[in-house]
Amino acid sequence: MIYTVTLNPSIDYVINLEHLNKGHVNRVNSENVYPGGKGINVSRILKTLGHDSVATGFLSGFTGDFIRNSLYELNVKSDFINLDNGFTRINVKIKSEEETEINGGGPHISDEKLKELFDKLNELNKDDILILAGSIPSTLKEDLYERIMEHVKDHNVKVVVDATKKLLLNVLKYNPFLIKPNNHELEEIFNVKLDTVEDIIFYAKKLQDMGARNVLISRGKDGALLITENGEVLISNVAKGNVINSVGAGDSMVAGFVAGYLNSNSYEEALKLGSASGSATAFSSDLAKREFIDELIREIKIERR
């Protein structure tokens, strides 16, 4: 089974308006609400691609109920831990001339509730995949991903980590199966400017030298690049389309990669499906539909370096 962990889920309240007039009342043209959080997004795309997963993490209050009910309606399995205080955060995403985001803080997570999460992780085994995605709430210590990986290391679980900066660097010693920084995050990690594909390959291999088995670099309009544990360098193009939604594209790439790998045991096929899934979400108002992913995958070509 695949398990996704979202430590700080959200309701994503997405509004569209022609012009954001600061300091005045604004009327929206359209509005939507979605269950949000990187791990939740991964679970939703996995379901779209025909793979069950269990979404876990922490939920609280009426907003937590909305997320749980939404996932139920989408036939996405969940096993969240209920918090006794506060409410799951609401993230407001305003789309006008430019995109503006206002992210909520989220509730406090106690040591007792955190232990419940670790107890759930005790059940994982070598046939499972664990996906750790997104930021860690400010109420928790920044070493939480490290502690989780330490906790499951003897279970031989394949762990995927989609995080930034120290959160990512500090887990490399536990040899995650896959990490997925984007090219800008790669620049931040090493404090460099990456001008060429060769530069990206060089620093992606550094992350592999530090412990990651497979390194997937998303590159926006330039596609994606994968350094495999077998020493291969695979580069994908990007499908053609108009970007209308930046939320969830990277999560969709992670989900597509995992689904593609499980379907074929091939890193090339995993990269193709990951690239198509990421593009399909970027070209959609919400997370991508299966038909659109299947359409775009025909445009994805893989180059070997």
Residue 42: count of CB within 10 angstroms of its CB: 32
- How much is the average pLDDT of 78-93? 94
Contact status, residue 203 vs residue 212, Cβ threshold 8 Å:
no
The whole-angstrom distance between residue 263's C-alpha and the CA centroid of its chain comes to 19
- Name the average pLDDT for the chain: 94
User: Which residue among the candidates 154, 251, 286, 294 is catalytic per the annotation?
Assistant: 251
Q: Please report which confidence band the pLDDT of residue 170 belongs to, taking 50, 70 and 90 as the band edges.
A: very high
How much is the CA Rg of the chain, to the nearest whole Å? Answer: 19
Tell me the whole-structure pTM to 2 decimals.
0.94
Residue 147's pLDDT is 95
Instruction: Give the separation between CA 70 and CA 21, rounded to whole angstroms.
Output: 32
Beta bridge partners of 224: 218, 236
- How much is the average pLDDT of 92-109? 90
Q: Which amino acid is at 27?
A: R
Instruction: Give the separation between CA 243 and CA 32, rounded to whole angstroms.
Output: 18
The DSSP output letter for 154 is G
Residue 123's pLDDT is 92
Q: Please report which confidence band the pLDDT of residue 215 belongs to, taking 50, 70 and 90 as the band edges.
A: very high
What does the domain layout of the chain look like in residue ranges? 2-21+29-304
Instruction: Using the predicted structure, report yes or no on whether residue 261 has a pLDDT greater than 90.
Output: yes
H or E stretch including 271?
A: helix 267-282
pLDDT in tens, 8-67: 999 999 999 999 998 999 999 999 999 999 999 999 999 999 999 999 999 999 999 999
Instruction: Give the separation between CA 121 and CA 16, rounded to whole angstroms.
Output: 39
- How much is the average pLDDT of 146-161? 94
- How much is the average pLDDT of 283-301? 95
C-alpha distance from residue 167 to each of 92, 131, 197 (Å): 25, 14, 25
| Of the listed ranges 135-139, 195-199, 225-229, 248-252, the one predicted with least confidence | 135-139
Instruction: Using the predicted structure, report yes or no on whether residue 246 has a pLDDT greater than 80.
Output: no
Instruction: Give the separation between CA 63 and CA 89, rounded to whole angstroms.
Output: 7
Residue 305's pLDDT is 85
pLDDT in tens, 65-76: 999 999 999 999
Secondary-structure percent of the chain, ordered helix, strand, coil, rounded to 5: 40, 25, 35
Residue 227's pLDDT is 97
Residue 137's pLDDT is 87
- How much is the average pLDDT of 286-303? 95
In the annotation, is 251 catalytic?
Answer: yes
- The superfamily CATH assigns to domain 2-21+29-304 is Ribokinase (3.40.1190.20)
Q: Which amino acid is at 237?
A: N
Q: Please report which confidence band the pLDDT of residue 91 belongs to, taking 50, 70 and 90 as the band edges.
A: very high
- How much is the average pLDDT of 255-280? 97
